[in-house]
Amino acid sequence: MGNVEVIDRAVLDSLLESVGGDGEFLAELLDTYYVDTPQQFAAMHEALDTGNTEDFRRAAHSLKSNSANFGAMGLSAKAKNLEEMGKTGRLEDAATHLEDAEAEYMEVKSALEMIQENG
């Protein structure tokens, strides 16, 4: 079940506008998002394991800005939170928040896919 509020349609529309309405390009971008995001999650998991706060922070940072690009504001906020943790170095609670973010991502993805299908 896709929660449309997960994606802020306005942002996405604006993004489409900024690339000149090129739907194909947007699809390319989304494809890259779909590949990139899991990689970021993986990087964060690994960072937790190794205790590398910097790597953790950077991955969270990327997630944050990418998500915001596509209107996934909620996910973006969660990523920001994770970034903070990476900055301050308090990673004890990170694992939970990370799972939470991952879950949110599942919703984002399906929502985006649905939008792609339906326009």
Partner 1 sequence: MVRKQAPGGHILVVDDNKINLMMLTRALREQGYQVTTAENGGEALEILFSPAAESIDVVLLDILMPDLDGYQVLERIKQREQLHHIPVIMISALDEIDSVIRCIEMGATDYLHKPYNPALLEARINASLADKRLRDLEIEYLEQVGHVVEAAESIESSAYDPECLDQVAGREDALGNLARVFQRMAAEIHLREQRLKQQLEQLRIDVEDMKKTMSEPLSVYIPMDRRQALVHGTTLPETTLGAALFVDVSGFTPLSETLAQQLGPKRGAEELTRILNQVYGVLIHVVHQYHGAVVGFSGDAITCYFEQDEGILAAACAIEMQKAMQQFSAVRTPDQNTFSLGVKISVVAGPMRRFLVGDPQIQNIEVLAGRTVDLLAAGEHLASRGEILVHQDITERNFELFITHEERVDPVSGDYFTILTGLQEHVAPQPWIELRKDVLRDEQCRPWLLPAVYEQSRSGAKGYLSEFRQGAAFFLSFTGIDYDQDEQAGVKLDRFTRWVQGVVAQYDGSLLQLTMGDKGSYLYAVFGAPVAHNDDALRAVYSSLALLDIPAEFGWIKQVKIGVTQGQMRTGSYGSSTRRTYGAQGEKVNLAARLMQVSDQGIICDRSIFQATQARLGYEELEPVSVKGVAEPVALFRPTGEKLRLERKRVSLIGRAVEQVELGRSLQSSRLGPSKTVLLEGEAGSGKTRLVEKFSSYSKEMQIPVLWSHPDLVAGKLPFHAWRSIFWQLYDLEAIGDDKGRLGRLVEHLNGAGGEKLQGADAVFIESILLGNQQIGDLKQDLEIPRQAVEILARLLKARIDSNPTAIIFEDAHELDAFSWELIQFVSSQVNHLVILVAFRPLTEPGSPALTQLVRSPNTALISLKGLSREEAYLLACEHLEAVSLPQEMVGVLDGASGNPRMIEEMVYIMRDDGYVEVVAGACHLLPHVDLDSIVFPTTPEGLIKSRLDRLTPSEQLTLKIASVIGEQFSLDVLTSLYPLDLDRPFIIKHLETFTNLDLVTSFGGNHTFTFNDEVTYQAVYNSMLFSQRRQLHRQLAEWIERNDLHDPPGDYALLAKHWRQADDTAKAIDYLEKAGQRALQQGDYELAERYFRECLELDATAAVLSTEFFKKKLQGENIQAD
Q: At 84, which amino acid appears?
A: E
Q: Which of 62, 97, 102, 115 binds partner 1 (CB under 8 A)?
A: 62
79-98 residues near partner 1, rule: CB under 8 A: none
* Closest distance of CB 20 from partner 1, Å: 7
Q: Which of 99, 82, 105 minimizes the C-alpha distance to 36?
A: 105
Interacting residues of 34 by C-beta distance below 8 A, sequence separation 6+: 109
Judged by CB under 8 A, the number of residues near partner 1 is: 18
CA distance 91 to 7: 28
CA distance 76 to 101: 9
Binding mask 14-33 for partner 1 (x = CB under 8 A): ----xxx-x--x--xx--xx
State whether residue 33 is helix, strand or coil.
Answer: helix
Asked if 116 interacts with partner 1 (CB under 8 A), we say no
Give me the residues that bind partner 1 (CB under 8 A), please.
18-20, 22, 25, 28-29, 32-33, 36, 55, 58, 61-62, 65-66, 68-69
